[in-house]
Amino acid sequence: MKRPLMLAALFAVLGSGDAHAYPVEVQNCFETEVFDQAPKRALVNDTNMVQTVLDLGLADRFVAVSGISGVEDKLIDDPNVIAGLNQFVTRYPSLESVLGLNPDFMFAGWSYGFSETTGLNPDSLARFGVKTYTLRESCVRIGEVAPISMETLYADIEALGKIFGIERRAGQVEADLRARVADVERRLEGVEQRPRVMYCDHCHVGTPPVSAGAQAMTSLIIRLGGGQNIFDDVADSYIRVSWEEMIRRDPQWIIVNDHRVPIEDTITYLTAQPELSHIEAIRKRQFIPLTYAEQTPSTRSVDGLEKIARALHPERFGE
């Protein structure tokens, strides 16, 4: 059975929801949030979080979504469900546009919609009685956090399960992801050669690229997939780097995503630059294409892990 269908089949068995008692308390970055009932007017921002909501069977519990305009075809679910998503802005929302929907809850993240500069963040929403859940990986933007692990992702799934009263369903999704991660780890046990890998975003133009530091989900799945992130010495998540440093660190593989720029455009640009021609990944055309939801924290991150592991160590997968 293909992976996109497995979650749908799982939900058919689980049914529409769980018996659940409120209030519940969840960790929300460095604070706690108490929910006396499941949200009735929930919002979610960004493709990865929308995908998680879809995979948890929560689409009908969210009155509106944002941050997916132009990339709806990257979402995985029944086409009618995706077409029925109410997009209240074309890209990232403002505080005013969010409050205009009279929400009682928002799921987003720092640099995934929440920002001090725009004024849309958990503190500003709390002043209007709107509860939030913040993507756990993004908490590094506002304070010191523990090293990222798969527990960072599982915490998001568990929290949403508690908030919406679907703990059994969320637990089944988490169990499936844990089993797949364990399978990758088993296959890669004893791997000694860890190729140098770089995540390269905004790499279709001449401006400095964006890559992944040690606290990014992308860095984690590179490591679990048997690679070495070339910017793993930077204690942050997504970072602006220089072409010169990319050349110096000489990645053997480059991860590119297809979020808003076709992968072919990125590869065409990278392979056309004479100053980049000696980079091993570019010289050998060793690129790993991922979707945005596979590369950032979501219920599809393990898909990204599996793709990286198969690209770097095909012999461990019988390929």
pTM of structure: 0.92
User: Residue 11: is its pLDDT beyond 70?
Assistant: no
* Pair of tokens at residue 295: 């590369």
Q: Are strands 31-35 and 24-28 parallel, antiparallel or unpaired?
A: antiparallel
Phi and psi, residue 143, nearest 5°: 180, 175
Picking from 301, 3, 58, 14, the residue whose alpha carbon sits closest to that of residue 171 is 14
pLDDT cut 90: percent of the chain above it? 90
* Pair of tokens at residue 201: 């975003």
Q: How far apart are CA 4 and CA 123, in angstroms?
A: 36
Q: Are 253 and 311 in contact (CB under 8 A)?
A: yes
Mean pLDDT of 161-177: 98
Residues in Cβ contact with 252 at an 8 Å cutoff, skipping those fewer than 6 apart: 195, 196, 197, 280, 281, 284, 286
pLDDT band of residue 165 (cuts 50, 70, 90) is very high
| Residue found by looking up tokens 């964006």 in the block | 210
Mean pLDDT of 153-157: 98
Q: pLDDT digits over 125-150, tens only?
A: 999 999 999 999 999 999 999 999 99
Mean pLDDT of 62-80: 96
pLDDT at residue 18 in the model: 60
Q: pLDDT digits over 265-277, tens only?
A: 999 999 999 999 9
pLDDT at residue 277 in the model: 97
- The full set of domains in the chain, from first to last, is 3-178 (3.40.50.1980), 196-317 (3.40.50.1980)
Name which residue leads in pLDDT, 138 or 318.
138
Residue type at position 235:
A
pLDDT at residue 48 in the model: 97
Residue type at position 239:
I
pLDDT band of residue 90 (cuts 50, 70, 90) is confident
User: Residue 1: is its pLDDT beyond 60?
Assistant: no
Q: Are 182 and 150 in contact (CB under 8 A)?
A: no
**In three state form, how does the secondary structure of the chain look?**
CCHHHHHHHHHHHHCCCCCCCCCEEEEECCEEEEECCCCCCEEEECHHHHHHHHHCCCHHHEEEEECCCCCHHHCCCCHHHHHCCCECCCCCCCHHHHHCCCCCEEEEEECEEECCCCCCCHHHHHCCCCEEEECHHHHHHCCCCCCCCHHHHHHHHHHHHHHCCCHHHHHHHHHHHHHHHHHHHHHCCCCCCCCEEEECECCCCCCCCEEECCCCHHHHHHHHCCCEECCCCCCCCEEECCHHHHHHHCCCEEEEECCCCCHHHHHHHHHHCHHHCCCHHHHCCCEEEECHHHHCCCCCHHHHHHHHHHHHCHHHHCC
Q: How far apart are CA 318 and CA 6, in angstroms?
A: 23
Q: How far apart are CA 298 and CA 121, in angstroms?
A: 20
pLDDT band of residue 312 (cuts 50, 70, 90) is very high
Q: pLDDT digits over 213-265, tens only?
A: 999 999 999 999 999 999 999 999 999 999 999 999 999 999 999 888 899 99
Q: pLDDT digits over 180-212, tens only?
A: 999 999 999 999 999 999 999 999 999 999 999
